[in-house]
Amino acid sequence: MEQRFEGRTALVTGSTSGIGAEVARALAAEGALVVVSGRRAELGAAVVAKIEAEGGRAVFVPADLSAGGAAVRELADATLAAVGGRLDILVNNAALLLQPRPTGEVDEETLDAAYAISVKSAFQLTGALVPAMAERGDGVVVNMGSISGSIGMGGSALYSMTKAAVHSLTKSWAAEYGPRGVRVNAVAPGPTATEGQADNAHLIAPLLATAPDRRMGRLEEVAAAVVFLAGDGATHIHGAILPVDGGLAAV
């Protein structure tokens, strides 16, 4: 098997389940030492065990990204300790997934939590980890965006707002860190077959009916895009928002 990340290290936030867990597996399958993170320690341990069973290397570092800057700093420090002081790849994937709700019915607690988990923690984690990459002159950040960050969807204003912020940060960080050797890009999945989407078929079906590919994405299709952007096949790609949505946002 190709080992394009041999000798490299990665942190994938929100990798106890879903897309993040698959991204962690895919990076580890190609040789990276991966830090798996999230709140649910049992699931984190299961992701690590699966990676190890497949011959990869991973460690679980717990973190609650709703808990503010000190918790984010702790994750950054524990990550650096787990990988021997050098992080090569940061995947900002954790997010608060929200069921569609009219704007007037979104309470302040949910509004603050969505911002804290999906935007603020990625901002602070990047601020904590990426300057060292820039000083060194190499590193990669891949943010998890969404088609919701680019197109309007009724009832999804809050989630869309957080994802539009992630898309914006991707371009701002490309401008900020790119000249010092750190590539920053994002993947923007469409509806992807995670456990969390299992009950949303009735909401997703009308969307998929308009998409060229007419189906949900698979976890490994999103992970493959992250692996591509993190790898040396993407060395001239900065500030891109790569859709992995079966063409949904394009038509």
Residues belonging to the active site: 159
CB of 172 to ligand NAP, least distance (A): 18
- Distance from C-alpha of 33 to C-alpha of 82, rounded to nearest angstrom: 9
Q: Is 149 a binder of ligand NAP (CB under 6 A)?
A: no
Tokens 């992250």 sit on residue:
226
- Distance from C-alpha of 18 to C-alpha of 130, rounded to nearest angstrom: 25
Single out the residue of 50, 57, 64, 181 in contact with ligand NAP (rule: CB under 6 A).
Answer: 64
Q: DSSP letters of 91-136?
A: EE----------GGG--HHHHHHHHIIIIIHHHHHHHHHHHHHHHH
Q: Which is nearer to ligand NAP, 49 or 138 (CB)?
A: 49
Q: Is 110 a binder of ligand NAP (CB under 6 A)?
A: no
Q: Is 95 a binder of ligand NAP (CB under 6 A)?
A: yes
Q: Is 158 a binder of ligand NAP (CB under 6 A)?
A: no
Using a 10 angstrom Cβ sphere, with 0-12 exposed, 13-18 middle and 19 or more buried, the burial of residue 184 is buried
- Distance from C-alpha of 34 to C-alpha of 169, rounded to nearest angstrom: 23
Q: Which is nearer to ligand NAP, 86 or 215 (CB)?
A: 215
Number of residues that bind ligand NAP (CB under 6 A): 29
Q: Give the residues lining the site for ligand NAP (CB under 6 A).
A: 14-20, 38-40, 43, 63-66, 93-97, 117, 144, 146, 189, 191-192, 194, 196-197
